[in-house]
Amino acid sequence: MRGVVFTGDRKLEIREFADPTPGPRDVVIEIKASGMCGSDLHTYRAAANPGGEVAGGVKRVAGTIAGHEPCGVVVAVGSAVTEQEARVGQRVMDHHYDGCGGCKHCRSGWTQMCLDGAVVYGSGGNGAHANYMKVPVHTVVPLPDALSFETGAAISCGTGTAWGALKRLNLQGGETIAIFGQGPVGLSATQLAVAMGARVIALDVSDERRKLAEDFGAEITIDARSNDPVEAIRELTHGEGAHKTLDCSSAPVARQATVRSVRSWGTACF
């Protein structure tokens, strides 16, 4: 099969790889859609032959097939995989982390926090920018027929990240939420928060992204470069601040503003 490898310095190569064969507890997915995450760009833009450790202890191995937003169809299953877990022909997304399975984080479902270091497909293990991808069966998630493969790829990382944040924030209809950064995760959060009945204040330095936020239902957009975000949010909330604030940019200045613009007894999320 062929796979895309980010070689650094904003270059990539299409290389030949052996078709994957499932181990006893693995499945092989024929990739139908593979998203491009913002974190993929770190490897794409890195120095030549990127490797080593990146943010959060994630291992990055040079020569690895890129892509960790996989969606496709199961074409092979391991000998110990039950039909209830996965079957050939099933449409699936993939949760792109795998951990040791034994530490306290893995046992509680937070494999990305694995004490032995999580493997992230597309960084430390071969990813989805290829014809096929081998993954542990416990990482696959059934894809409903109503959702396209492209939608599934988006949900498997960026949109799923936004949804998880909103759930942890316990966002309620009628509340005001300020969302800093309107990239894929931020726009997903905006769209979902609007659907949940919240009033959304969307912030970004990009005119194009603020326009997209408006299209996705944001009530107000703020240019975070030409305005003081904290002052603007407080003016829009009678001096109190937003009920919930969410940083989707990872910019230090945005994280500070996320904390400073939340009201008393509110909740901020990074």
* 48, two tokens: 């030549």
pLDDT in tens, the chain (270 residues): 999 999 888 999 999 999 999 999 999 999 999 998 888 888 888 877 655 555 445 677 888 999 999 999 999 999 999 999 999 999 999 988 888 889 999 999 888 888 887 788 888 889 999 999 999 999 999 999 999 999 999 998 889 999 999 999 999 999 999 999 999 999 999 999 999 999 999 999 999 999 999 999 999 999 999 999 999 999 999 999 999 999 999 899 999 999 999 999 999 999
Q: What is the predicted pLDDT for the residue at 49?
A: 63
Burial of 181 (0-12, 13-18, 19+ CB in 10 A): buried
Q: What is the predicted pLDDT for the residue at 80?
A: 98
Phi, psi at 25, each rounded to 5°: -110, 25
Q: What is the predicted pLDDT for the residue at 55?
A: 46
Domain ranges of the chain: 2-159, 170-269
Locate all alpha helices (DSSP H) within 93-228, ordered by sequence: 104-107, 149-154, 160-169, 184-195, 207-215
CATH number of 2-159: 3.90.180.10
16-40: per-residue pLDDT in tens? 999 999 999 999 999 999 998 888 8
Q: What is the predicted pLDDT for the residue at 268?
A: 98
35 CB-side CA count, 13 A:
26
Burial of 37 (0-12, 13-18, 19+ CB in 10 A): buried
**Which of the following CATH numbers is that of domain 170-269: 3.30.70.260, 3.30.499.10, 3.40.50.2020, 3.40.50.720?**
3.40.50.720
47 CB-side CA count, 13 A:
3
Distance CA 38, CA 67 (A): 10
Query: Left (φ > 0), alpha (ψ -120 to 50) or beta: where does 238 sit?
Result: left
Q: What is the predicted pLDDT for the residue at 103?
A: 92
Contact 66, 4 (CB under 8 A): yes
Phi, psi at 237, each rounded to 5°: -130, 30
